[in-house]
Amino acid sequence: MNAAVVLFPGSNREGDVASAIKRITGKAAKIVWHADEDLPSGTDLVVLPGGFSYGDYLRCGAIAARAPIMTAVREHADRGGLVLGICNGFQILCEAQLLPGVLQRNAQLRFMCKEVYLRVERSDTPYTRRYNAGDVLKIPVAHGEGNYTADEETIKRLEGDGRVLFRYVSPEGKTDPKWNHNGSTNAIAGVLSDKRNVLGLMPHPENHVDPLIGPTDGRGLFESIKTVLEAA
């Protein structure tokens, strides 16, 4: 598996995700500069990491979505390649229109760093193969603008097509406004592209992979990717 992590000015979780990939797949990810025009040859997973690209000035992800490297990322996605956007990466994917919808300010208008509970909605995707549908994962979030929303028709389509991959739920796995910390529509935490090769999610699975530091519920996501890519 050949992962490429894109580094934008202001990215700050590129190291966290790169070390999670190394830890789980045994292979180091390449760091790719935003101003480059090509992905390293053989790249089969592109990661847009968390952070505050361009300071989140203007709109989160808006400037990064127009970086030179994004043309190559779009082509990779069009070919069916895997693209994973975490937190700011999710915002960039939405701004680049590789995923529908937008991420607004959290409903309570504050940045939130805490562990939340996510329900895996399906396990037949490249990102969740190693989970079971209905699994409840404890994963941290760290964002001020993670409140996912889209027009009614889009939400309906996403739900109808089974493209909502993760949802904020109670520890028992029930949807409950009390456990939807940022007020996302339908408690959506992560969505897939129509071909299901592009995933954007707000929580940080890369921060829950090391048993010495905390829970390890995030490992399954990287293990799933590894399984899929190594079988390919």
87 is catalytic: yes
Q: What is the DSSP letter of 55?
A: G
Measured distance CA(210)–CA(21) in Å, rounded: 12
Cα–Cα distances (Å) from 209 to 126, 140, 229, in that order, read 18, 11, 19
- The whole-angstrom distance between residue 182's C-alpha and the CA centroid of its chain comes to 16
Query: Is residue 134 close enough to count as binding other proteins by CB under 8 A?
Result: no
Residue 188 host element (H or E):
strand 188-192
Alpha-carbon gap, residue 29 to 112, rounded angstroms: 28
DSSP 8-state class, residue 50: -
Site string for other proteins, 49-78 (x = CB under 8 A): --xx-xxxx---------------------
From residue 2 to residue 41, the character string flagging contacts with other proteins as x (rule: CB under 8 A) and all else as - is: -------xx-xx-xx--xx---------------------
Return the residues of window 191-210 that contact other proteins according to CB under 8 A: 204, 206-207, 210
| Candidate list 34, 143, 181, 204, residue with the active-site label | 204
Shortest distance, position 176 Cβ to other proteins, whole Å: 18
**Which one is catalytic: 14, 87, 145, 181?**
87
Beta bridge mates, 192: 199
Shortest gap between Cβ of 218 and other proteins (angstroms)? 11
**Where do the DSSP E strands lie in 8-92?**
30-33, 45-48, 82-86
Whether 206 sits among the annotated catalytic residues: the reply is yes
Can residue 215 be called a binding residue for other proteins (CB under 8 A)? no
H/E run at residue 14: helix 14-25
- 113 a catalytic residue: no
Binding-site string for other proteins from residue 95 to residue 114, where x marks contact by CB under 8 A and - marks none: ---------------xxxxx
Closest to 140 in 3D by CA, of 82, 80, 69, 207: 207
Taking CB under 8 A as the rule, does residue 176 contact other proteins? no
Q: Are 199 and 158 in contact (CB under 8 A)?
A: no
- The residues annotated with a catalytic role in the active site are 87, 204, 206
Residues that bind other proteins (CB under 8 A): 9-10, 12-13, 15-16, 19-20, 51-52, 54-57, 110-114, 140, 142, 144, 204, 206-207, 210, 212-213
